């Protein structure tokens, strides 16, 4: 069908004047009545639910969905999002409403690497690992786009490429990155989105990468995306990014030069106003008619693939009753269950609700709807906050007492009020109770995108890994009462919770947990949900990270960090225990891929879901000494290799006392070593495969009391 859609696009664009073709390269594309082309706005959002377009099912934020470590469930969630997007589009277009956020081209997912926990937009991503991000990105894109004659919606892989803060300087920042880090870390998820998932759109980033503005980069857009990977969809700029070329990056002199640079290097749609200068560029000979029509053909190929210019699209009959229906709400609740990561438990959880006379719920996030939503969110028709969920699930004979305790952070203080002016009240209610549920963290008003998040200190980023000062004080004061404290964290990123790890009875990371996040939390606290989430990011200690602006992967993420961490990538506790045995790894005889099989047993007395994780170590130093890899010695620094890398994961439900043999494929790419010049090779020698419920590091072993099992294979 691809060629048929392209032929239709070529025929339609061929009927346009050059002015009409140029007009279609703006986000808000005007109608061309004489050709029967309606207006269309390309800017629509669907990160964790249809966003900014009224009522929709609100799922946990993307980082929470990543914590599920479940590609199949994420694909199902994307199918829900695309179904609701179609339902809303059908309703709105029938009413003649073709405004922003009301189309079927979703500018999601965000598959940038969450390389530094200070980045405010990291909550939109799938974590710090390129393999996890690739698998989840592919699943989400396939779920959005569907497998019908037409695309259910078009997905957009953003932001291409090497983009992860700082927010404050993103319009002028130049990310310097080595060829090795580019190929090994920053590009794999985008490559998979294009070559495996067939993503229809790619969005460029605001920043420069190695001197080139991303939305006009010959290296990124022409050499890699189109020529190397064979991308056939269309490229859209981030909003107002092309005007940054001349206003902030200073690589062009004016808007005309910026428009010409972007268009000639492969950016087809401008979110902004710079492409309003395309005709003057054309008249001055800066671009050709072919440049304009080539981009317009790509854009209209996408419109034909979406079926919005056809009368036989199979998705036209999706009715508005699908929006926020009970089935979709249930999936949001299930995602919230699976996204919760239990970081610490001294045995207090699950709580025996019948034994509790009084529960104290304390903290600025206890009754917050905002922390359920995250950013790039829709509006649910029903929310259950943390305190509401606890009220619903606790015993009728238990009393609940509440104190806000403090404001979320210092800047959010009303005149004549102190940020921590409820400390005495919080200590009083804590002293009355059998247990404290302390709800701290951040929300999307202070952690998020520059211009959206309103913090005054870092334009949406975090200035450090600690809780805001009022919350740190509140936590210590509540702990000082001696009542057991269960810390509940709602945030979109990793924080240094060393004090809580030492002094709280339990710690749960709940992310921005979706419209039913409070109910999922309560059912986890009281034991009807067995937590099974895993960390898609590393929790470091404050002061242990390289400078935020340094894009080198050295000493970043679990693959390269050399220090001690608080909670490792891939880690998470539950109310069950699992045991691994009989790991076998063997070639499956196709395309250099291998298969791992391992026995997993639930050795606890509680039914639960286990996330099995596979890691691979290439033993690079040993391989260089075996004589078989001599051609690569000058380009391979063993000190600059990953310790090990995630190469497989699967979620499995196991009843107490039962076991199951789990099978996972190990892709050929897992055996690839990236050299310093960016070339990809397979070293000859011994590889170690680890299997377990976490990565094979000492900290995970100490926290869980279990260790991974391993097997070795030889690549000859």
Q: What is the largest CA-CA distance in the chain?
A: 80
> Where along the chain do its domains lie?
327-543, 578-715
What secondary structure letter does DSSP report for 279? H
**pLDDT recorded at residue 274:** 98
**φ, ψ dihedrals at 553, nearest 5°:** -85, -5
Please pick, among 45, 128, 447, 613, the residue that the annotation labels catalytic: 447
Question: Are 58 and 373 spatial neighbours (Cβ–Cβ below 8 Å)?
Answer: yes
Question: Are 405 and 382 spatial neighbours (Cβ–Cβ below 8 Å)?
Answer: no
What secondary structure letter does DSSP report for 125? S
**pLDDT recorded at residue 589:** 77
What single string gives the DSSP state of each residue in 511-567? Answer: -S--TTHHHHHHHHHTTSS------SS-B--TT-SPPTT----TT-HHHH--S--SB
Please tell me the distance from the alpha carbon of residue 483 to that of residue 477, in angstroms, as a whole number.
11
C-alpha 95, offset from chain centre: 34
Average pLDDT over residues 299-319: 97
458 confidence band (pLDDT: 50, 70, 90):
confident
Question: Are 614 and 649 spatial neighbours (Cβ–Cβ below 8 Å)?
Answer: yes
Residue with tokens 């269950």: 337
Give CA separation, 669 vs 71, 131, 195, 645, in Å. Answer: 18, 10, 13, 11
- The b/e string for 83-121 (b: 16+ C-beta within 10 A; e otherwise) is bbbbbbbbebbeeeebeebbbbbbbbbbbbbbbbbbbbb
Question: Are 713 and 594 spatial neighbours (Cβ–Cβ below 8 Å)?
Answer: yes
Evaluated on CA atoms 136, 140, 143, 148, the torsion sign reads: negative
Q: Any catalytic annotation for residue 447?
A: yes
Please tell me the distance from the alpha carbon of residue 76 to that of residue 74, in angstroms, as a whole number.
5
- Which range (127-141, 374-388, 417-431, 695-709) has the least confidence? 417-431
Nearest alpha carbon to residue 464 among 366, 563, 341, 548: 548
Average pLDDT over residues 231-260: 98
Helices (H), 615-667: 620-625
Average pLDDT over residues 662-671: 96
**pLDDT recorded at residue 453:** 87
The three-point CA angle 569-238-31 to 5° equals: 135
Average pLDDT over residues 408-419: 69
**pLDDT recorded at residue 593:** 85
CATH topology of domain 578-715: Immunoglobulin-like (2.60.40)
Please tell me the distance from the alpha carbon of residue 319 to that of residue 89, in angstroms, as a whole number.
10
Q: How many other C-beta atoms can be found within 10 angstroms of the C-beta atom of residue 665?
A: 16
C-alpha 256, offset from chain centre: 35
Residue with tokens 């806000």: 404
Average pLDDT over residues 161-180: 97
- Reply yes or no on whether the pLDDT at 467 is more than 60: yes
Please tell me the distance from the alpha carbon of residue 294 to that of residue 10, in angstroms, as a whole number.
9
Q: Using one digit for the tens of pLDDT, what is the confidence trace for 527-569?
A: 999 999 999 999 999 999 999 999 999 999 999 999 999 999 9
Helix axes 386-393, 517-525, angle to 10 degrees: 50
**pLDDT recorded at residue 415:** 54
Please pick, among 129, 238, 373, 404, the residue that the annotation labels catalytic: 238
**pLDDT recorded at residue 99:** 95
- The b/e string for 387-412 (b: 16+ C-beta within 10 A; e otherwise) is bbbbbebbeeebebbbbbbbbbbeeb
Please tell me the distance from the alpha carbon of residue 62 to that of residue 65, in angstroms, as a whole number.
5
Please tell me the distance from the alpha carbon of residue 444 to that of residue 706, in angstroms, as a whole number.
36
- The b/e string for 366-381 (b: 16+ C-beta within 10 A; e otherwise) is bbbebbbbbbbbbbbe
Nearest alpha carbon to residue 132 among 587, 567, 614, 574: 614
**pLDDT recorded at residue 345:** 98
**pLDDT recorded at residue 411:** 67
Q: How many other C-beta atoms can be found within 10 angstroms of the C-beta atom of residue 422?
A: 22
- The 3-state DSSP composition of the chain as helix, strand, coil percent (nearest 5) reads 35, 20, 45
SS3 401: strand
**pLDDT recorded at residue 684:** 95
Percentage of the chain beyond pLDDT 70 is: 99
Evaluated on CA atoms 71, 75, 81, 82, the torsion sign reads: positive
**φ, ψ dihedrals at 146, nearest 5°:** 75, -175
**pLDDT recorded at residue 246:** 98
- Reply yes or no on whether the pLDDT at 413 is more than 70: no
Percentage of the chain beyond pLDDT 90 is: 95
Average pLDDT over residues 50-76: 98
Average pLDDT over residues 274-285: 98
**pLDDT recorded at residue 456:** 75
**pLDDT recorded at residue 1:** 80
Residue with tokens 């302390």: 438
- Reply yes or no on whether the pLDDT at 230 is more than 60: yes
Please tell me the distance from the alpha carbon of residue 162 to that of residue 217, in angstroms, as a whole number.
12
Please tell me the distance from the alpha carbon of residue 255 to that of residue 278, in angstroms, as a whole number.
9
Average pLDDT over residues 33-54: 98
CATH topology of domain 327-543: Rossmann fold (3.40.50)
Highest mean pLDDT among 452-466, 560-574, 613-627: 560-574
Q: Any catalytic annotation for residue 393?
A: no
Please tell me the distance from the alpha carbon of residue 469 to that of residue 472, in angstroms, as a whole number.
5
Residue 285: exposed, middle, or buried by beta-carbon count in 10 A (0-12, 13-18, 19+)?
Answer: exposed
How far apart, in Å, do the first and last CA atoms of the chain sit? 42
Average pLDDT over residues 440-452: 95
- The whole-chain average pLDDT of the chain stands at 96
Kind and range of the H or E run holding 20: helix 18-23
**pLDDT recorded at residue 577:** 97
Please tell me the distance from the alpha carbon of residue 456 to that of residue 477, in angstroms, as a whole number.
27
Question: Are 478 and 362 spatial neighbours (Cβ–Cβ below 8 Å)?
Answer: yes
The C-alpha torsion from 132 through 134 and 138 to 140, rounded to 10°, is 50
């Amino acid at each position: 069908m691809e060629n048929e859609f392209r032929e239709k696009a070529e025929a339609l664009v061929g009927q346009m004047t050059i002015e009409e073709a140029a007009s279609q390269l703006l986000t808000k594309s005007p109608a061309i009545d004489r050709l029967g082309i309606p207006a269309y706005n390309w800017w629509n959002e669907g990160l964790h639910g249809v966003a900014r377009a009224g009522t929709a099912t609100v799922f946990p934020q993307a980082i929470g969905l990543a914590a599920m470590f479940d590609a199949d469930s994420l694909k199902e969630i994307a199918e829900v999002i695309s179904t609701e997007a179609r339902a809303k589009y059908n309703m709105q277009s029938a009413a003649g409403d073709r405004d922003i956020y009301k189309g079927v081209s979703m500018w999601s997912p965000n598959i940038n690497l969450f390389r530094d926990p200070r980045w405010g937009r990291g909550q939109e991503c799938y974590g710090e690992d390129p393999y996890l991000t690739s698998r989840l990105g592919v699943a989400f894109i396939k779920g959005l786009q569907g497998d019908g004659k037409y695309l259910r919606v078009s997905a957009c892989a953003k932001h291409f490429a090497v983009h992860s803060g700082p927010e404050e300087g993103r319009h002028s920042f130049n990310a310097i990155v080595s060829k090795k880090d580019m190929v090994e870390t920053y590009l794999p998820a985008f490559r998979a989105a294009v070559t495996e998932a067939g993503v229809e759109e790619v969005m460029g980033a605001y920043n420069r990468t190695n001197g080139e503005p991303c939305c006009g980069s010959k290296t990124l857009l022409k050499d890699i995306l189109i020529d190397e990977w064979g991308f056939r969809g269309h490229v859209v700029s981030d909003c107002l990014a092309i005007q940054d070329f001349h206003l902030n990056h200073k690589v062009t002199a004016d808007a005309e030069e910026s428009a010409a640079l972007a268009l000639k290097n492969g950016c087809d749609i401008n979110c902004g106003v710079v492409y309003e200068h395309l005709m003057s560029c054309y008249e001055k000979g800066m671009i050709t008619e072919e440049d304009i029509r080539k981009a317009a053909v790509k854009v209209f190929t996408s419109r034909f693939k979406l079926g919005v210019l056809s009368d036989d699209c199979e998705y036209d009959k999706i009715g508005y009753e699908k929006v926020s229906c009970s089935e979709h709400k249930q999936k949001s609740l299930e995602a919230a269950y699976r996204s919760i990561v239990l970081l610490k438990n001294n045995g207090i959880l699950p709580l025996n609700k019948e034994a509790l006379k009084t529960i104290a719920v304390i903290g600025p996030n206890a009754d917050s709807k905002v922390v359920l939503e995250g950013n790039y969110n829709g509006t649910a028709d029903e929310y259950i906050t943390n305190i509401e969920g606890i009220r619903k699930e606790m015993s009728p004979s238990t009393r609940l007492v509440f104190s806000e305790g403090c404001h979320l952070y210092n800047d959010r203080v009303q005149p004549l009020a102190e940020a921590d002016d409820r400390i005495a009240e919080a200590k009083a209610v804590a002293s009355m109770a059998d247990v404290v549920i302390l709800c701290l963290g951040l929300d999307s008003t202070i952690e998020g995108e520059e211009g959206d998040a309103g913090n005054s200190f870092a334009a949406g980023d975090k200035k450090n890994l600690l809780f805001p000062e009022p919350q740190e004080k509140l936590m210590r004061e509540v702990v000082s009462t001696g009542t057991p404290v269960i810390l509940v964290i709602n945030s979109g990123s990793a924080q240094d919770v060393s004090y809580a790890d030492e002094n709280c009875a339990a710690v749960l990371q709940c992310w921005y947990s979706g419209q039913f996040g409070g109910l999922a939390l309560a059912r986890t606290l009281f034991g009807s949900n067995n937590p099974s989430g895993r960390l898609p990011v590393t929790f470091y200690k404050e002061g242990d990270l390289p400078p935020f602006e340094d894009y080198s992967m050295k000493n970043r993420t679990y693959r390269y960090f050399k220090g001690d961490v608080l909670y490792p990538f891939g880690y998470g506790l539950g109310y069950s225990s699992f045991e691994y045995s009989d790991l076998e790894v063997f070639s499956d005889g196709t395309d250099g891929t291998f298969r791992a099989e391992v026995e997993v047993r639930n050795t606890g007395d509680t039914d639960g879901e286990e996330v099995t994780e596979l890691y691979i170590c290439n033993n690079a130093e040993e391989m260089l000494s075996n004589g078989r890899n001599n051609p690569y010695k000058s380009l391979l620094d063993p000190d600059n290799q990953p310790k090990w890398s995630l190469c497989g994961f699967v979620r499995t439900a196991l009843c107490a006392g039962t076991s199951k043999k789990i099978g996972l494929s190990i892709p050929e790419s897992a055996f690839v070593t990236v050299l310093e010049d960016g070339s990809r090779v397979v070293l000859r020698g011994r590889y170690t495969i680890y299997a377990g419920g976490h990565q094979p590091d000492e900290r995970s072993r100490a926290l869980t009391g279990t260790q991974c099992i391993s097997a070795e294979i030889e690549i000859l």
